[in-house]
Amino acid sequence: MSYGASAALQAAVYQHLIGDAGVTSLVGSDIYDAAPPGSPPGTYVSLGPEDVLSRCDCTGDGALHRFTVSVVTDAAGFGAAKQIAGAISDALAGAALTLSRGTLVALNFERARARRVGEGDQRRIDLRFAARIDD
């Protein structure tokens, strides 16, 4: 197993989302790999946690990267957050990303969780994807 392709996957996911018209029409360039500094915008997307499992076999090294992309908003209700989450899911599920290290074999949506956070005035949707990478 190799964790070496993790940074390449994150960079490719970020570039894909920032270049997707459906996503940027809803959040602009407010896509981050960490919570934005200072006062965050009312709505943003954050690349988040990742779990990686070995998927090595007799043909070579590989890994399954399960990563989270989060939508955070202070908009009332879940409608706006769900629209953004849907655009992210459409953009990433099955996308043929080019990585600077490794080869993406598959990229699939696994699950989502929508909830209120903080004092209940923020909404958050965590989307989990699975990327199979041969290194």
**pLDDT score recorded for residue 135:** 82
- What's the fold here for domain 6-33+43-134? STM4215-like (3.30.2000)
The three-class DSSP label of residue 82 is helix
Task: Give the domain ranges of the chain.
Answer: 6-33+43-134
Residues contacting residue 95 through CB under 8 Å, at least 6 positions apart: 16, 107
Average pLDDT along the chain: 92
Sheet (strand 103-117) strand order: 31-32, 43-54, 62-73, 122-134, 103-117
- List pLDDT tens digits, range 116-131: 998 768 999 999 999 9
Place of tokens 């989270």: 68
H or E element, residue 43: strand 43-54
| pTM exceeding the 0.85 threshold for the entire prediction | yes
**Averaged pLDDT for residues 81-100:** 97
